[in-house]
Amino acid sequence: MGVRLLMLLWALTGAAMAAQPPVPAPLPRSGLAFASADVRALQADDFANPGMLWVDRGAKLWNSPAGASGQSCAGCHREAVISMKGVAARYPRFDREAGMVLNLEARINRCRSTRQQAEPLVWESEALLALTAHVAHQSRGQAFVPARDAQSLEAAARGREQYVRRQGQMNLACTHCHDRLAGRRLLAETISEGQGNGYPAYRLEWQGLGSLQRRLRACFTGVRAEAPPYGAPELVELELYLAQRSGPLGIETPAVRR
């Protein structure tokens, strides 16, 4: 009787568990969710948000001729507010002509070199940050649209491998902080989930605008690992994985962060 009773209880428990809906995975949270009230207010006000200065500078560059072609970005793409809407939500992705995965900065530079016949802008330069911010700003509120081609998926998988791999003298992986410790305090800062949907972003500690790659390189340095150079494939692949990981989060460029 005891065995039969246990089997009956096990069957009833299993049936009850099967009848319950699965627990949904928690939705990703923007870094804004971990920011203080003053930072959130600063980002929400386009007149006060200091990152909008770069967006405005980018608008001027968008309409300025460059290179041997004498063409401006607007000469091909017209008004960015129309033609660039949704573009940032599709990057990083594999570019067939380039034969590699490009993030938005690299896509802008490739357009400069191949279409305008101009020198590529230096990574993290004010001009490249401004153009990137201006283009990305046109997609504000739109979620990332993941590419489904084999090359992009393979690159995202390599980015995930980096995200979970221990690195540096501190033997830590991105997941240790941004998945396991999100919401906890690290000195004066609250650890976020490490989402990149707000970049290029204005960080108060930088007193300026910076790219996602700048932030990623700072994390490499933080765990005492050698930071890849700007534009390195491993950084772009990590960017791509973070974009896929952000799920339904909308682009916030230019975000404000502590």
**Size (the chain), residues:** 258
d(CA 47, CA 8): 66
Q: What is the DSSP letter of 30?
A: -
Residues forming the active site: 219
Q: What is the DSSP letter of 116?
A: I
Half-sphere CA count of 184, side-chain side, radius 13 A:
8
Distances (CA, A) of 248 to 149, 178, 203: 20, 18, 23
- The tokens describing 141, both together, are 């509120």
Q: CB of 156 within 8 A of CB of 240?
A: yes
d(CA 108, CA 88): 11
Beta strands in 5-132 (DSSP E): 93-95, 100-102
